[in-house]
Chain A
Amino acid sequence: MPVTRKKTLAAVAALSATALILTGCSADGGSSDDNVLRIAMGSPGEAQIRVWDDVAAQYEAANPDVTVEMNYQDDDLYQTIGLPNLLNGRNAPDIYFEWAGARLEQRAADGFAADLTEAVTSGPIAGLFDDEVFTSLTVDGAVVMVPHSADVTNVLWYNEDIFADAGLTPPTTWAELLDTCDALNAEGIIPIASGNKDLWAAGNWLAHLTSRVVGEEAYSSALAGDTDFNTPEWIEAFGYVEELADHNCVNESVNAVDDNEGAQLFFQGKAAMHAIGSWLVSWAIDEAPDLNFDYVNLPAMPGEGNQESVIGVVTGYVVNAKSTKQDEAAEFLALLNSDENVQQFIGAELTPMTLSAASGEDIDSRTASLTSLLETAPAIVLPPDNGYDLETANALYAALAEVLGGQSSPADAVAGIDQKLG
């Protein structure tokens, strides 16, 4: 019997050795291979993924020795755990998606944002953009991001057919909005769909609402941690959120479903309005191609702020300062913004910020009007989670969700924010 036993042992040893070698090989594969250009982003939706994959193929065709590896992550995961882990990880991306503002500054401070000044002034990206767009993307004198799109992160979308059938017009003031909610509720239609499980979807919308009431400056200083939230102005602002709850303006499931499911209520005609950002147009291509819908900016609020303000943020792509392929990365970003690819993105309902985009003919009218809404906005409000510290943003979002869900009074919720932030 010793013979068979020895065989068993040898087999186990050989198996485990093979297994370890196998895993070793595949584990090391990515890092030792220098010819891979890695690009990371939150998933931009099927339509745009097709364009990205095509741009990657174009780049590989032009540079046969380089492989482009796309990493599309879940949006929320990317924003929170995903990107920091990726940047600190072994296969760190060479190019990654980021939001302009506090987050971008933090990346630059941590040494993850390459200086692209030369690339945009005299390098491959020169001449593609209006120079002015780079002012907000400059940190310590260096351009650190190539912009891609300017997202309006929240407007009020409405279903034109439902509104026509119910004889309603899109609300432009607070009182009209509440009346519209009442009228729609009477028809058995959810007035406003929102999927706020991850807190930012309604959070963005209601933060914009509060900024209109407390004023842009008070909004910004509270989120920056310079002033408290517990002021009569903030309580008043939260009071309007409570009115939304009192009038049953949002779906009952608001804090139980995520943004995708919220959009689905709107796409399926169960909800007449949907408070979300400009990317809805792009989603609708795949999800609800026949839906007739348009948008209005947040209705005017009684309050301190500029009632024409727009909540929005520039997003774009950063080249990792630790990348060994910064030149290739710049070339890729130039290719991404070539005339042909810009037209492809427009086809996928994303309007790149290049000069060439303006000459595009088939930009969706809503997308075009959103772009001009942002460009002509008298005041731009930054979304809390992109423009400010994430923990502060989250505390504000959680408080807004509580009031919207009828769980807390405005005063308690506002006091809770300061308490949470210590």
Chain B
Amino acid sequence: MKPNRTVTPYLFLVPAMAVFGFAVLFPVIMTFAYSFTEWNGYGAMVFVGIDNYVKAAQDVLFRDSFVHVLIYIAITIVLEVVVGLVLAGLVSVRRRGSLWFRVAIFTPVMLPMVVVAVLWAFVYNNDFGLLNAALQTLGLEDLQRVWLGDTSTALIAVSVVSGWVYAGFYMTIFYAAFNQVPTEVIEAARLDGAGEWQLFRRIKVPMIRNAITVALLLCITGGFQGFDLFYVMTNGGPYGATEIPTTYLVKSVFTFQNVGYGSAMAVVLTVVVVGLGLIFTRVNREKPEEVRS
């Protein structure tokens, strides 16, 4: 690396920083500024101090939306990260010939979420949906319900779709990580008489802890940003049971034109997501890489 006093490094940097500054950084600052105002997006802007934050703190719907997204994240950690880990473990037991399996499981990741959402809205449809029809075929009519219309199942139903999409994604990440576990370690454990399950639990999983931390970070911060599935499948319903911060934000800003209030909620959400991200990166840094060279 050469110390350089010319403008050259800046010339290489300017285009990227200009686009990033224009489309991300400046709007972040403006969103923060808007959060102290009452504004409908085009009329007069009124400075209101921290009123919007006080309102957000008292807003039951906003609080509920956080609860919902936390439940969603908790479920998706199980359905995406844990299931992904188990699937990767299964596949890594016998690597040969598993390609077709990984392809099948990974395919949903390729699809636009809107396509996934529309498709699964049909799966859950209570008139002709796949799920109710399957239950009927199996003689389990009692379990049939309006999956997306029932407050007790809607959030889970959406989470399951998310799991369907991303289990393959995390499986792929973990599979790549498992492949980096030195074979000698595994062979040695095998000679000591460890079964596949013990190998998985005691050797493989601990050795890819780093990849698991990253996956958790992705799952959690990604979960806070979820929107497509919720917007298309339930749009917050039934009775607000699937209202998450993002759908609530979009409603406040774009439907009811409360730009100031929406911005305050966006700031709160940003602080939470960035804060979690920083904590995770710190934790990851403190534990030096053990496996990946």
Contact = CB atoms under 8 A, between A and B. Distances in A.
Question: Are any A and B Cβ atoms less than 8 Å apart in their complex?
Answer: yes
A398 B239 contact: yes
A252 B146 contact: yes
B197 interface: no
Contacts of B234: 197, 256
A402 interface: yes
What size tier do the contact residues of chain A reach?
20 to 34
B22 interface: no
Nearest to B154: A256
Contact of A80 (B55, B127, B240, B254): B254
Contact of B149 (A81, A255, A391, A419): A255
Contacts of B239: 255, 398, 401-402, 405, 407-408
Contact of B42 (A110, A197, A198, A199): A110
Contacts, number: 67
Contact of A197 (B55, B235, B255): B235
Interface in A355-396: 390-391, 394
Which of B55, B239, B250: most chain A Cβ within 10 A? B239
Interface in B133-154: 146-151, 154
B146 to A, nearest CB: 4
Which of B41, B147, B237: most chain A Cβ within 10 A? B237
Nearest to A110: B42
B69 to A, nearest CB: 19
A253 B149 contact: yes
Interface string A310-337: 0000000000000000000000000000
B61 interface: yes
Nearest to B256: A391
B149 A252 contact: yes
A390 B256 contact: yes
Interface in B240-293: 240, 250, 254-258
A135 interface: no
Interface string A178-210: 000000000000000000011100000000000
A261 B52 CA distance: 38
A255 B145 CA distance: 13
Contacts of B111: none
Contacts of A401: 237-239
A100 to B, nearest CB: 20
A71 to B, nearest CB: 18
Nearest to B58: A422
A88 interface: yes
A250 to B, nearest CB: 11
A174 B243 CA distance: 34
A80 B255 contact: yes
B92 interface: no
A422 B256 contact: no
Contacts of B154: 256
A402 B149 CA distance: 11
B238 A256 contact: yes
A54 B150 CA distance: 44
B237 A81 contact: no
Interface string A217-255: 000000000000000000000000000000000001111
Contacts of B256: 390-391, 394
A264 to B, nearest CB: 8
Given A407-B151, A420-B61, 20 more contacts: A81-B254, A81-B255, A84-B257, A88-B42, A197-B235, A197-B237, A198-B235, A252-B149, A253-B126, A253-B127, A253-B149, A256-B146, A257-B149, A270-B127, A398-B239, A402-B239, A405-B149, A405-B239, A408-B239, A420-B60
17 contacts: A110-B43, A197-B234, A253-B126, A253-B127, A253-B146, A255-B239, A256-B126, A256-B148, A390-B255, A390-B256, A394-B256, A398-B239, A405-B149, A405-B239, A407-B238, A407-B239, A420-B60
Cβ-closest 7 pairs across A and B:
A256-B149, A80-B255, A255-B238, A391-B256, A253-B146, A81-B254, A256-B148
